[in-house]
Amino acid sequence: MTDYVNDPTLPAPPFPGSHMVLDDCYVFVSGLTASDIQEGENAIGDIKEETRRVMRELERMLALVETSFADVLRVDIHLADLGDIGEMDSVYAEFFENDRYPARTCTESPRLSGGSGVEITLMATRPDRSR
């Protein structure tokens, strides 16, 4: 069974989509930027703080569906300026155990929502719910 979930603590998506889509095995989380998070706009312009806020929000969203960063299989990151990858990586790496990083793509996308510098989307496994 597939569930389409909008997080009530976030503004409704400004596009025809859902914050999260859940099936029996996976959770798919739509791209998230600092401008999507309440008071996240305060971080825009500081790539480290934007990344930290987005990762914390993703962590909270995963916990809502009983998953965590340990369950993340794939991450897609879009940076407004690929030159910020080192600073973004320094924060991103803090959220994963050493040598247990998910598969990842990082691209430059110069026009991110709300003027943000980073957008992150992910896919994670869900716990075995048959028990």
Residue 129 has pLDDT above 70, yes or no: no
CB 75 within 8 A of CB 58: no
pLDDT of residue 131: 47
In Å, how far are 11, 24, 66, 68, 109 from 96, measured between CA atoms? 27, 24, 17, 10, 24
pLDDT tens, 83-93? 999 999 999 99
Whole-structure pTM value: 0.91
**Architecture of the structural domain at 3-125:** 2-Layer Sandwich (3.30)
pLDDT of residue 45: 86
| Domains in the chain: boundaries | 3-125
CB 120 within 8 A of CB 31: yes
